[in-house]
Structure 1
């Protein structure tokens, strides 16, 4: 069984990331290393908290663990450093910021989530009441129009005036 240095492993795992985005099968074929070895290395890197994508190539399709690892890695970076990091990984700074917001939203306390849900429920109830009020108004207008049509028809029948058709 061949032994590989940690630098060699890191270099090979980097080829799985953007911009190269090689699949495990392609990398195994190119480097002459078994696929299972590469899968094991990728699994170890994920366990250590490295930003290693799954089998999907697009960053938005990465598993949550990989996205979280990117957020942790970039948490203390300046705008310039973040841009350099994103270029090296094939990401956009907007993606990383969106992932940060998702992490923050996921960490809201249950009290904050409950308050947000209550506010949404109040807004929904208010909208429902407005819609019901509008529906009642329209139903009344429709009933009034129908009553006027019936009365006109009866009045025309009473006077014997069938010629008026509107």
Structure 2
């Protein structure tokens, strides 16, 4: 864990979480001694502790957002599939009409031939 005078705000989240775990059982005097040794402020540790506590709340909100996004995506997919089916039917109909026109021209000839 960094304690070499490096800026504590630049520490990784794992190191900050480790500090929160180490300092959880400490009383105020022990916390002050710990902070002096590591070059930290008690306010920093309190802020990190609060961030750890709200992390799960953010995860729950993110999960709710993902479910909502998933539901919206499913609706959009269904809408696009429905539109694709409609266009495929229209394309099949147009192809059938072209084939019938060619067959009719083959049987009766072009109007230009008259």
- Give the structure-1-normalised TM-score: 0.34
- Greater helix percent: which structure? 2
Bigger Rg over Cα:
2
Which has the higher relative contact order, 1 or 2, with Cα contacts under 8 A spaced 6 or more apart?
2
- Give the structure-2-normalised TM-score: 0.48
